[in-house]
Amino acid sequence: MAAVVGGLMEIAYGVDDFLGAQADGDDAPQQIDRLCFVVAERFPSQAYIHMRIPRLYLPVPLTVGATVTLDDNAFNHAVRVLRLKPGAALVLFNGAGGAFAATLTAVNKREAQAHVTEALPGAVESSLRVLLAQGVSRGDKMDYTLQKAVELGVAVIQPLFTERGGVDLSGDRLARKIQHWRGIIIGACEQCGRNRLPELREPLPLPTWLNQPLEPGWRLLLDPLAERGLRGLERPAGTVTLLIGSEGGLSPAEIAQAHQAGLTGIRLGPRILRTETAGVAALAGVQALWGDWD
């Protein structure tokens, strides 16, 4: 009885932490993960409790039978956030395409190790290769776009600086922003079950990108004034390239440059979409028409 009371108290504290995280704008999903593990640890015999095994990105070679040391990011999430102990089950992936079952074997204050036990079956990558050429937007709009693009199966992300973007990034600020975006991509892969990291390319000015050879396949420019939509297009034989403007859209000169570079204008319905919505909606549309939404 005392153990049950203690468990319920710890769960109550976890709920309080979660609500506090929401109020403070902190990482509430991490608090949810922690709360789930408290429940599973205290009441392991309750079959109705669904517990997902933590997925961690670990950029090292992974082979069955190997013992690996968690890097700082994986250690922080597994040990400091989830408070996992030796014996806890993990899923590890290194971004190359495979996932592995592992068991946490050693934990101390500064590092933890895991033993890789099994290569896991299953592939979740879309058969449709999509390149998202996204105008860089301000605030957290770009973060949202990247996160949802990963969940929707994007293969390549090309950030672009456009006339109306209002974003000035260079030098150290640009390097930090790229690192931040990479963290968003990794976190989205951990959450959605993807084992291969989408390629994040170096940000470029839009004219520079348009002057480069584009991949064969459909090269599409989202334009609310275009005459046709996705349903009017045939199934692509290669890559689907989606060009999305930043806040304020692309300028008339940029649209003209895109057409000259071989991009075809399409519209997504009769309404004008925000920059953080347009790419997500377009990705959902092409996956439904030609990808793995079956």
**Structural domain of residue 79, as residue ranges?**
2-120
Q: Which of 62, 88, 120 is the last residue of a domain?
A: 120
Q: Is residue 178 part of a domain?
A: yes
What CA–CA distances, in Å, run from 86 to 103, 164, 251? 8, 52, 56
- pLDDT > 90 fraction of the chain, expressed in percent and rounded: 66
Q: Is residue 204 part of a domain?
A: yes
What is the pairing mode between strands 89-93 and 99-107?
antiparallel
Residue 19 confidence class, pLDDT cut points 50, 70, 90: low
Asked if residue 239 and residue 151 are part of one domain, the reply reads: yes
**Range in 113-117, 155-159, 234-238 the model is least confident about:** 234-238
Residue 170 confidence class, pLDDT cut points 50, 70, 90: confident
Asked if residue 216 and residue 136 are part of one domain, the reply reads: yes
What is the pairing mode between strands 55-57 and 89-93?
parallel
212-264 pLDDT, tens digit per residue, is: 998 999 999 999 889 899 998 998 989 999 999 998 889 999 999 999 999 99
CATH code for the domain in which residue 21 is found: 2.40.240.20
Q: Report the distance separating Cα 70 and Cα 82, nearest Å.
A: 14
Asked if residue 46 and residue 15 are part of one domain, the reply reads: yes
Asked if residue 150 and residue 112 are part of one domain, the reply reads: no
Asked if residue 194 and residue 97 are part of one domain, the reply reads: no
137-147 pLDDT, tens digit per residue, is: 887 899 999 99
How would you list the strands of the sheet with 112-120, edge to edge?
55-57, 89-93, 99-107, 112-120, 67-69
Q: Is residue 125 part of a domain?
A: no
- Model pLDDT, residue 189: 96
How many domains is the chain partitioned into structurally? Answer: 2
CATH code for the domain in which residue 274 is found: 3.40.1280.10
Q: Which residues pair with 218 in a beta bridge?
A: 240
Asked if residue 261 and residue 154 are part of one domain, the reply reads: yes
Q: Which of 120, 140, 170 is the last residue of a domain?
A: 120
Structure-model confidence comparison of residues 100 and 237, the more confident one: 100
Determine the straight-line distance between the first and last CA of the chain, rounded to whole angstroms.
Answer: 49
**55: three-class secondary structure by DSSP:** strand
Average pLDDT over residues 156-180: 90
